Structure 1
Amino acid sequence: MNLIRNNPVAMYLQIADRLRVEIAEGTYEPSGRLPSESQIMARFNVSRVTVRLALEQLDKEELIERRKGKGTFVAGKQVRHQIDTLRSFHESLKVQGFNATMRIIDLTAIETPQAFVQLFGQKCALLERLHMVGDEPIALGRSLLPAFMSDLRREIAEQQPTYALLKDRAGVDITSAEIAIGARAAAPRITSLIAAADNAVLLVLERTSYFDNGACAERSEFFIRPERYKFVLGNRIPAR
């Protein structure tokens, strides 16, 4: 779109109008992220001041959310996690069309924490991965896994979701999981990794999954930035 430079309508309002239409048309789905100020400047050949006025106009209309250091997003755009469906965290991002990736933080054999010795024995594997949407960290996943998972190749662990990794190595399906959801302040290491504010209260999903033979497959915690994440539980009315 070319701006009409001698139009009585100010250029920032013309830009706001164009972005408003694109938001309504779903141009910025599925992530909801708008182009950066610099990209909008280049697109319309205008100054940063003009772009900021346009974004301020959309902000006043509550059409966008501007997050310092993160970018500009369609207001209310959130990742949805269907907790009544047995699906890995990474898979829940991919099925919604998000550009989801994972980055390994740690993968090692450890002494099993005392609370989980009954599930895994004295040794287990620790897998920590940063979950990204585009270039934005959205959650840190910390999983305790059976000890035989500690020799996973890192490049594979960065590509495959937890359930797929476990099924490939164990040769057994995961058929059930217990899930708890809460909120709590996280340690500085965690908030730093997911680019949250110090002492931020994060969503925390705790999940314990089981193989078809009843053995524990994994015990995971996901520390999630709450502003872009929503848990959804579906219910059906029983047939009469």
Structure 2
Amino acid sequence: MNKQPKYRQVADVLRREIVNGMHEPGARLPSESELQQRFDASRNTIRNGLSLLVSEGLITSSQGLGYEVRSHEVFELNASRFENLTFPQNGDAYSTDVTNAGRRPHQTFRVEVLPASQDVASRLKVTAGTKTVLRFCHRYVDDVPWSTQATFYPSWLVDEAPRLAEPGDIEEGTTRYLSDRGTEQVGYFDEISARMPTPEEARLLEIGAGVPVMIWTRTGYSADRPVRCTVTTFRGDLNRMNYEIGDLSARSENEPQ
């Protein structure tokens, strides 16, 4: 038997339906009276359940118009081109891609010196506990939290590229900065997974209950060794990632103009 209060049961069902796409963004939910009949619940119970979804940012309420599924525009990231310096850039890859999509980029930074965790050390091929520099970005698209990005650089690389340890943005992007300093990244190893957010991730990304995060871990390599490990955490409801592999000229030829 479900021991949760009835209004939470109502919210759980509707939340699950929204996350699974049964109620599209911008769609109006059934009326309170219809929901009363469906859930065999009082009007106050239905209103409390709907209010919970409003507080989570999943739906909006308009006087006289009922409740509507909140509409967030999804941002599509091409992970193949994200750090490819052969593509024209105006600033770093994130700012360029968001601006080119007609959206507004904004990001904040912090820089810390931390010992490498076992996980990061294994990717950077250094001893666990070795000093690394963490550059942490909190990124927004149109003032909506989009992702957090934690990039770890080994200390030997920071000695060669000291701006990595300076607070604030590297305007041209770290990939281009490193290339200009003689460290060109020639390859990447990507790992992608999904899970429910930690409380801190939910706070930073303003994620409502029931929304997962996508974790994109990219290890960048120079010609002879790994030079950085980047862990990007995306809101699962606002992002779509794609890759281009091989010759896709036929795809562009067949796409509608």
Q: 1:97 to 1:108 in 2, by over 3 A?
A: same
1:78 equivalent in structure 2: 74
Q: Which amino acid in structure 1 is aligned with residue 233 of structure 2?
A: F
1:109 equivalent in structure 2: 113
Q: Which amino acid in structure 1 is aligned with residue 175 of structure 2?
A: Y
Aligned-pair Cα RMSD in Å:
3.1
Aligned counterpart in structure 1 of residue 244 of structure 2, from 230, 234, 238? 234
- Flag as ranges the 4+ runs of structure 1 deviating above 4 A: 88-91
1:154 equivalent in structure 2: 167
Aligned counterpart in structure 1 of residue 220 of structure 2, from 202, 209, 215? 209
1:61-100 equivalence runs, <5 A:
66=70, 72-73=71-72, 77-87=73-83, 88-100=93-105
Contact map agreement 1:108 1:127 (CA 8 A) in 2: yes
Distance in 2 separating the partners of 1:186 and 1:200: 8
Contact map agreement 2:135 2:164 (CA 8 A) in 1: no
2:134 equivalent in structure 1: 126
Q: How far 1:150 sits from its partner (Å)?
A: 7.5
Q: How far 1:177 sits from its partner (Å)?
A: 0.9
SS of equivalent residue, structure 1 residue 154: coil
SS of equivalent residue, structure 2 residue 165: coil
The answer to whether the aligner puts 1:135 opposite 2:161 as a matched pair is no
Contact map agreement 1:182 1:204 (CA 8 A) in 2: yes
Contact map agreement 2:106 2:140 (CA 8 A) in 1: yes
Q: How far 1:219 sits from its partner (Å)?
A: 0.6
The answer to whether the aligner puts 1:166 opposite 2:181 as a matched pair is no
1:15 equivalent in structure 2: none
Distance in 1 separating the partners of 2:145 and 2:119: 29
Distance in 1 separating the partners of 2:183 and 2:164: 18
Structure 2 residues not aligned, in runs of 5+: 1-61, 84-92, 251-257
2:255 equivalent in structure 1: none
Contact map agreement 1:90 1:131 (CA 8 A) in 2: no
TM-score w.r.t. structure 2 length? 0.56
Q: Which amino acid in structure 2 is aligned with residue 112 of structure 1?
A: A
TM-score w.r.t. structure 1 length? 0.60
Deviations along 1:76-107, one digit per CA (max 9) or x if unpaired, are: x3211112325245543343232112111x31
SS of equivalent residue, structure 2 residue 176: helix
Aligned counterpart in structure 2 of residue 225 of structure 1, from 227, 235, 250? 235
Residues matched between the structures, number: 171
1:20 equivalent in structure 2: none
Deviations along 1:153-192, one digit per CA (max 9) or x if unpaired, are: 32334x4534234335x43222211112220122211111
Deviations along 1:96-131, one digit per CA (max 9) or x if unpaired, are: 232112111x31111111233352632111111101
